[in-house]
């Protein structure tokens, strides 16, 4: 069965969300957002989804503080972060490239990462550009660290890193990523060539499973319209709704 | 209380003042910001609650900003905020980068009149390393060691934002944008432009009063139709994508930015301001 790269990534992320009671999704994250909605529709009512700035999927009414208060209380089970740079220790950089403050390349800023990365149990890192520019040995600026020293309150942190090439899990003890699967059409050599950090690699790396037909049918049917509420451009491009 | 013009609304803001600004979806007072640029007030300290976009970029591009305190400055789907990025590269801005919940928590400390507030997270980040005003203390209530960051309270000189509705008593209806309530509670002076100013008392309406900032916290209000343009205002009008694209393109250069300012607000606003 044919499927798009977006549909593959949505299904990869959705598998990581199994059993999560409340998934929160930030602005401009259509692929993670679609994965959260897919998990919700598979959960028989057990999973709730909050999409920031969505008209229908944001049952919050206490201003910008509410999401962070919920996270600090343990009311959010999974969240998604990304980075202009992500390094092998799970550190993420949303600030820029070069020496702070007068950086060569400046991005928007750290947003909620320096709280959410510490407190949300399953943070899934997602970046659809897997190159040596984005997957670096050491980030130029730590917006939020991958791990914390012993004694620092840290119930949350990185759970996985999903890119356009592959999926990694994160080992908190070793503060390292482990390659879990490589997406169809890509190779271990390609992953190594495009990754600036060292990662653990099993002797045999499985191929990422293709999207399950019934999940594809869900995405292309009822879910496409749900995704179009917060992410109209994405839904129009991928599913023509 | 009711200013006749936007110029009169922003007149109290003097050089060196700190101004709390709302996020893009909670009513940035763009028309009032244009009026503020005209006053010539400079060396401003902008405090985004917790992020900003066009509003900060306009003030930075006009050379009015000394310090930018925020968790993010972006034009969202229209890309980077070009004047902000340029100022960072030129080194003309003092940056106080932080994370969203730190700004909101510190503002809540200001609202409560307490000197600081603890917050989880931040430890081990370069945000903390570059913020000399943030400190790490040991949680005094923990049995064993529990380091936690403490943030000094934020008490802005001004809060400046745009709301859908106000009344002639100075009450301001904000809907779900509760951070505007926190801003008004914490700031020394609150300046609000509103789409409409009505005669009835919004605080006397049990359905609307829970989402209304009482006049006690509000210094001045002024009417400004489509006061967020080219940004949108929830429940009132959508963002003007064509104008935002034009801004993102023009503001890549100082000359293009100056032209955008000179082109002025859209006709509906000019009528309202006259």
Residue ending a domain, choose from B107, B125, B152:
B152
Total tally of structural domains belonging to chain B:
2
Q: Note whether residue B183 is domain-resident.
A: yes
Instruction: Reply yes or no on whether the pLDDT at A27 is more than 80.
Output: no
Which residues of B fall within a CB distance of 8 Å from A138?
Answer: none
- Residue A126 touches partner B, C-beta closer than 8 Å: no
The arithmetic mean of pLDDT across residues B119-125, rounded, is 98
Q: Are B89 and B184 part of one and the same domain?
A: yes
Q: Are B37 and B81 part of one and the same domain?
A: yes
Q: What whole-number distance in Å separates Cα of residue A83 and Cα of residue A71?
A: 20
Instruction: Reply yes or no on whether the pLDDT at A52 is more than 90.
Output: no
**Residue A211 DSSP label:** P
Q: Model-level pTM?
A: 0.96
Containing structural domain, residue B130 = 117-152
Which residues of A fall within a CB distance of 8 Å from B119?
Answer: 115
Q: Are B45 and B94 part of one and the same domain?
A: yes
Choice between A45 and A109, residue whose per-residue pLDDT is larger = A109
Q: Are B83 and B194 part of one and the same domain?
A: yes
Choice between A59 and B34, residue whose per-residue pLDDT is larger = B34
Mean pLDDT over all residues of chain A? 96
Q: Which of residues 133 through 162 in chain A touch B, CB cutoff 8 A?
A: 141-145, 148-149, 151-153
- Residue B89 touches partner A, C-beta closer than 8 Å: yes
Q: Are B144 and B175 part of one and the same domain?
A: no
Q: Which of A216, A202, A208 shows the shortest CA–CA distance to A183?
A: A208
Q: Are B19 and B74 part of one and the same domain?
A: yes
Q: Are B87 and B207 part of one and the same domain?
A: yes
Q: For B145-166, what is each residue's pLDDT tens digit?
A: 999 999 999 999 999 999 999 9
Instruction: Reply yes or no on whether the pLDDT at A59 is more than 90.
Output: no
pLDDT of residue B267: 57
Q: For A127-163, what is each residue's pLDDT tens digit?
A: 999 999 999 999 999 999 999 999 999 999 999 999 9
Q: For A153-201, what is each residue's pLDDT tens digit?
A: 999 999 999 999 999 999 999 999 999 999 999 999 999 999 999 999 9
Q: Note whether residue B195 is domain-resident.
A: yes
Q: Are B210 and B239 part of one and the same domain?
A: yes
Q: Note whether residue B46 is domain-resident.
A: yes
Q: Note whether residue B107 is domain-resident.
A: no
Which residues of A fall within a CB distance of 8 Å from B125?
Answer: 110, 114, 142-145
Measured between CB atoms, which of B23, B90, B127 is closest to A114? Answer: B127
- Residue B233 touches partner A, C-beta closer than 8 Å: no
For an interface test with A, the pick among B110, B124, B185 (most A C-beta atoms closer than 10 Å) comes out as: B124
Q: Are B81 and B131 part of one and the same domain?
A: no
Instruction: Reply yes or no on whether the pLDDT at B274 is more than 50.
Output: no
pLDDT of residue A28: 76
Which residues of B fall within a CB distance of 8 Å from A109?
Answer: 51, 70-74, 97
| A106 Cβ neighbours under 8 A, 6+ residues apart | A95, A96, B80, B84, B85, B88, B89
pLDDT of residue A72: 96
Measured between CB atoms, which of A27, A62, A152 is closest to B178? Answer: A62
Q: Note whether residue B109 is domain-resident.
A: no
Q: Are B174 and B140 part of one and the same domain?
A: no
User: Cis bond leading into B230, ω under 30°?
Assistant: yes
Q: Which residues pair with A105 in a beta bridge?
A: A97
pLDDT of residue A55: 75
- Do the chains contact at B99 and A112, CB–CB below 8 Å? yes
- Chain A: nearest CA to B87, how far in angstroms? 9
pLDDT of residue B273: 47
Structural Rg of chain A based on CA atoms: 17
Q: Note whether residue B169 is domain-resident.
A: yes
Q: Provide ipTM, 2 decimals.
A: 0.95
Measured between CB atoms, which of B72, B84, B182 is closest to A111? Answer: B72
Q: Note whether residue B217 is domain-resident.
A: yes
- Residue B52 touches partner A, C-beta closer than 8 Å: no
CA quadruple B259, B264, B266, B267: dihedral sign: negative
- Chain A: nearest CA to B83, how far in angstroms? 11
Q: Are B13 and B77 part of one and the same domain?
A: yes
pLDDT of residue A104: 96
Q: Per-residue confidence at B265, pLDDT binned at 50, 70, 90?
A: confident
Measured between alpha carbons, how far is residue A240 from residues A33, A38, A222, B201 in Å? 17, 18, 13, 48
Residue ending a domain, choose from B109, B133, B152:
B152
Measured between CB atoms, which of B49, B95, B177 is closest to A101? Answer: B95
Instruction: Reply yes or no on whether the pLDDT at A50 is more than 50.
Output: yes
Is residue B21 within 8 Å of B47, Cβ to Cβ?
yes
Give the Cβ contact number of residue B237 at 10 Å: 15
Q: Which residues pair with B189 in a beta bridge?
A: B158
Is residue B103 within 8 Å of B182, Cβ to Cβ?
no
Is residue A211 within 8 Å of A8, Cβ to Cβ?
yes
pLDDT of residue A136: 98
Q: Which of B51, B38, B43 shows the shortest CA–CA distance to B8?
A: B38
- Residue B25 touches partner A, C-beta closer than 8 Å: yes
Instruction: Reply yes or no on whether the pLDDT at B270 is more than 80.
Output: no
Q: Are B169 and B257 part of one and the same domain?
A: yes
Query: Domain of B207: which CATH number?
Result: 3.40.1080.10
Q: Note whether residue B111 is domain-resident.
A: no
Instruction: Reply yes or no on whether the pLDDT at A16 is more than 90.
Output: yes
The arithmetic mean of pLDDT across residues B184-205, rounded, is 98
């Amino acid at each position: 069965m044919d499927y798009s790269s977006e549909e593959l990534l949505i299904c990869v992320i959705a598998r990581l969300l199994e059993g999560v009671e409340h998934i929160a999704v930030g602005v401009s994250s259509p692929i993670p957002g679609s994965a959260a909605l897919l998990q919700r529709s598979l959960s028989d009512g057990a999973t709730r989804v909050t999409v920031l700035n969505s008209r229908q999927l944001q049952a919050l009414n206490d201003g910008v503080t509410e999401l962070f208060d919920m996270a600090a209380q343990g009311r959010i089970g999974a969240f998604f972060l990304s980075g202009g740079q992500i390094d092998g220790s799970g550190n993420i950089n949303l600030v820029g490239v070069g020496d702070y403050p007068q950086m060569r390349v400046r991005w928007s800023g750290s947003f909620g990462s320096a709280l959410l990365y510490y407190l949300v149990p399953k943070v899934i890192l997602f970046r659809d550009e897997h190159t040596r520019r984005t997957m670096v040995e050491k980030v130029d600026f730590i917006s939020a660290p991958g791990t914390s020293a012993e004694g620092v309150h840290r119930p949350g942190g990185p759970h996985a890193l999903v890119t356009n090439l592959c999926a990694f899990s994160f080992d908190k003890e070793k503060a390292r990523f482990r390659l879990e699967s490589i997406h169809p059409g890509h190779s271990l050599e390609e992953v190594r060539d495009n990754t600036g950090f060292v990662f653990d690699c099993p002797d045999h790396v499985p191929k990422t499973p293709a999207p399950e037909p019934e999940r594809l049918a869900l995405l292309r049917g009822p879910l496409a319209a749900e995704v179009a509420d917060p992410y109209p451009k994405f839904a129009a491009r991928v599913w023509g709704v | 209380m009711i200013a006749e013009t936007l110029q009169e609304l922003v007149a109290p803001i003097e050089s060196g003042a700190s101004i709390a600004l709302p996020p893009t979806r909670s009513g940035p007072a763009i028309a009032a910001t244009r009026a503020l640029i005209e006053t010539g007030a400079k060396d401003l300290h902008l405090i985004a609650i917790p992020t900003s976009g066009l509003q900060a970029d306009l003030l930075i591009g006009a050379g009015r900003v000394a310090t930018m305190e925020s968790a993010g400055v972006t034009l969202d789907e229209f890309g980077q905020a070009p004047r902000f990025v340029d100022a960072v590269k030129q080194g003309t801005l003092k940056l106080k980068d932080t994370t969203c919940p730190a700004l909101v928590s510190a503002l809540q400390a200001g609202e409560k009149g307490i000197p600081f507030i603890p917050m989880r997270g931040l430890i081990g980040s370069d945000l903390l390393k570059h913020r000399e005003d943030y400190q790490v203390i040991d949680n005094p209530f923990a049995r064993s060691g529990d380091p936690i960051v403490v943030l000094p309270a934020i008490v802005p000189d001004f809060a400046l934002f745009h709301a859908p509705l106000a009344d002639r008593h100075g009450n301001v209806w904000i809907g779900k944008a509760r951070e505007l309530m926190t801003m008004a509670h914490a700031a020394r002076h609150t300046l609000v432009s509103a789409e409409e100013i009505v005669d009835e008392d919004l605080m006397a309406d049990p359905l609307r009063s829970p989402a209304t900032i009482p006049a006690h916290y509000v210094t001045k209000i002024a009417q400004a139709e489509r006061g967020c343009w080219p940004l949108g205002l929830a429940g009132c009008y959508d963002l003007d994508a064509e104008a935002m694209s034009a801004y993102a393109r023009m503001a890549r250069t100082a000359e293009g930015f100056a032209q955008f300012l000179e082109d002025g607000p859209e006709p509906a606003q000019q009528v309202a301001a006259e």
